[in-house]
């Protein structure tokens, strides 16, 4: 089958691997930044409930904006290339993380927080040692969703001058009608799916490692 030949071709393998690396970079850096920002915003929103609706509302508004447009908005600021998409991707990844941080913190049993308070644990210590660890499973789920979201959208970065696996997909698109188009389309798309599956497995492993036995389902 033509697709298998395509896969077997070393130059295909090279470019797919290279692009996968780029794609991971495009995904993981924004997610990392979104984790820092999102968890912080989430903790703040949890502390100040009046604020939470505004914060969650703002992040969900951002998610409604189509990706190409959000990429494009930053291009005049930082130029063509990876940076504009990465800023936009960071913003996209915020919503799941903020929302799950807030709901995770709310899900911690009141009795647990009160007994910690009653034993003389200060507010910061309570947050770090009691509330966040117990909210972690929900937070991790949000981070996972954010990552999968980002992997998908990152495929569009190529349209704003970025790289990643979108390059291969776009290559196929431009050659529709001639040979090799389908293979490139499929190759690029499948590579993204494979990457997503690997990331998903990684999160499963992270969950196993970081969620204490006492609160595992």
Partner 1 sequence: MAVSTALPEPDQDAAALGRSEDAAATKRAKRSKLVRYVAMPGFLLLLNVATFLWLSGQDLDSIERRTLTAENLIGKAQEHVWLTLLSTTFVLLLAIPFGILATRPRYRRFAPGIIGLGNAGQAIPSFGMLALLFYLFRVTPWLPSTGTLPVVVALVGYSFLPILRNTMVGLDQVDSSVLEAGRGMGMSERRVLRRIELPLAVPVILAGIRTALVLNVGTATLAFLFGGGGLGDVVYNGLSLRRIPITIVGAVLVATLALLVDYIASLIEEKLTPKGL
Partner 2 sequence: MIELKELTKRYPGTETPAVDRLTMEIPRGEIVVFVGPSGCGKTTSLKMINRIIEPTSGQIILDGEDVTDVNPDQLRRRIGYVIQQIGLFPHVTIEDNVATVPNLLGWDRDRTKARVDELLDVVGLDPDVYRNRYPKELSGGQRQRVGVARALAADPPVLLMDEPFGAIDPITRTRLQNEFLRLQQELKKTICFVTHDIDEAIKMGDRIAILQERSIPAQFATPEEILTQPANDFVADFVGSGSTLKRLKLTRVRDVTITTDALLGRIDEDKHVLRQRLQESDWTAMLLLDDERRPARWLRAPDFLHDRPVAEMGLPARAMIEPQATLSDALEEMLLGSAGVAIVVDGRGAFQGILDVDDIITSIQTMRDANAEFYRASKLIDPATAIA
The residue ranges that bind partner 2 (CB under 8 A) are: 109-122, 125, 130, 133-134, 212-215
Q: Considering only CA atoms, give the Rg of the chain.
A: 21
Given partner 2, partner 1, none, residue 155, with its beta carbon under 5 to 8 Å by kind, binds partner 1
Query: Which residues, in sequence order, are bridge partners of residue 176?
Result: 178
Give backbone dihedrals phi and psi of 163, rounded to 5 degrees, phi first.
-115, -150
For residue 69, state whether it binds partner 1 (rule: CB under 8 A). Answer: yes
Residues 6+ apart with CB under 8 A from 140: 203, 206, 207, 210, 211
- The residue (of 135 and 195) whose beta carbon lies closer to partner 1 is 195
Query: Binding pattern to partner 1, positions 171-200, x when CB under 8 A?
Result: -xx--xx---xx--xx-xx--xx--xx--x
Query: For residue 154, with 0-12 CB atoms within 10 Å meaning exposed, 13-18 middle and 19 or more buried, which class applies?
Result: buried
> C-beta of 104: minimal distance to partner 2 in Å?
12
For residue 48, state whether it binds partner 1 (rule: CB under 8 A). Answer: no
> C-beta of 143: minimal distance to partner 1 in Å?
15
**CB contact at 8 A, 165 and 23:** yes
Residue in 59, 67, 82, 134 binding partner 1, rule: CB under 8 A: 67
């Amino acid at each position: 089958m033509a697709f298998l030949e395509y896969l077997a071709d070393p130059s295909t393998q090279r470019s797919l691997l290279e692009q996968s690396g780029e794609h991971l970079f495009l995904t993981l850096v924004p997610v990392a930044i979104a984790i820092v920002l999102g968890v912080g915003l989430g903790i703040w929103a949890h502390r100040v409930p009046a604020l939470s609706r505004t914060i969650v509302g703002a992040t969900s508004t951002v998610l409604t904006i189509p990706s190409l447009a959000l990429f494009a908005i930053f291009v005049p600021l930082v130029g063509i290339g990876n940076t504009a998409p990465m800023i936009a991707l960071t913003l996209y990844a915020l919503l799941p993380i903020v929302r799950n941080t807030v709901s995770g913190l709310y899900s911690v049993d009141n009795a647990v927080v009160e007994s910690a308070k009653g034993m003389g644990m200060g507010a910061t210590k309570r947050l770090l040692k009691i509330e966040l660890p117990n909210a972690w499973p929900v937070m991790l789920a949000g981070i996972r969703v954010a990552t999968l979201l980002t992997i998908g959208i990152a495929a569009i970065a190529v349209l704003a001058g970025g790289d990643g696996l979108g390059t291969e997909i776009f290559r196929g698109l431009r050659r529709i009608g001639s040979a090799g188009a389908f293979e490139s389309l499929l190759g690029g798309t499948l590579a993204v799916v494979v990457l997503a599956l690997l990331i998903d497995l990684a999160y499963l492993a992270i969950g196993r490692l970081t969620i204490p036995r006492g609160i595992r389902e």
